[in-house]
């Protein structure tokens, strides 16, 4: 399977804990995007990378959130000191320049 892969699929954690998600994009896709989706909403943009460079961060991305793509391949999204409002589906997508984005199946985060 050569689609976008996300790990884990589900994460349950207590409020205040740190969590890290991983995304493996489709090979040779230079762009990688992170989105968050809550119930009844469409995916909301968080941040994106062009190769290893993080080019934009949404206002939704508070200072508790950090994303990396160190070698221009896989990416990680870390949330520190999780809060109830962080409960959501976190989606990763990748694309070549100018082409439609391909999404992974997401990581569902539940904060207890």
Partner 1 sequence: DQQVKQNSPSLSVQEGRISILNCDYTNSMFDYFLWYKKYPAEGPTFLISISSIKDKNEDGRFTVFLNKSAKHLSLHIVPSQPGDSAVYFCAVRRVWDDKIIFGKGTRLHILP
Which residues are near partner 1 by CB under 8 A? 4, 31, 33, 40-45, 48, 55-56, 91, 93, 95, 97-98, 100-106
Contacts of 111 (CB under 8 A, 6+ apart): 13, 14, 15, 82, 83, 84, 86, 87
CB of 95 to partner 1, least distance (A): 7
Cβ closer to partner 1: 45 or 80? Answer: 45
* Residue 84 phi, psi dihedral angles, 5° rounding: -55, -40
C-beta closer to partner 1: residue 50 or 73: 50
> How far apart are CB 109 and partner 1 at their closest, in Å?
14
Q: Which is nearer to partner 1, 82 or 107 (CB)?
A: 107
Supply the minimum distance, in Å, between the C-beta of residue 9 and partner 1: 9
């Amino acid at each position: 399977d050569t689609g976008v892969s996300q790990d884990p699929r589900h994460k349950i954690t207590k409020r205040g804990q740190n969590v890290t998600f991983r995304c493996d994009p489709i090979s040779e896709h230079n762009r990688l995007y992170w989105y968050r989706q809550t119930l009844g909403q469409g995916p909301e943009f968080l941040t994106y990378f062009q190769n290893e460079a993080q080019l934009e961060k949404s206002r939704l991305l508070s200072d508790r959130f950090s994303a990396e793509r160190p070698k221009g391949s896989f990416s990680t999204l870390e949330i520190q000191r999780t809060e109830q409002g962080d409960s959501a589906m976190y989606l990763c997508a990748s694309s070549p320049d100018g082409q439609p984005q391909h999404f992974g199946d997401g990581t569902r985060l539940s904060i207890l």
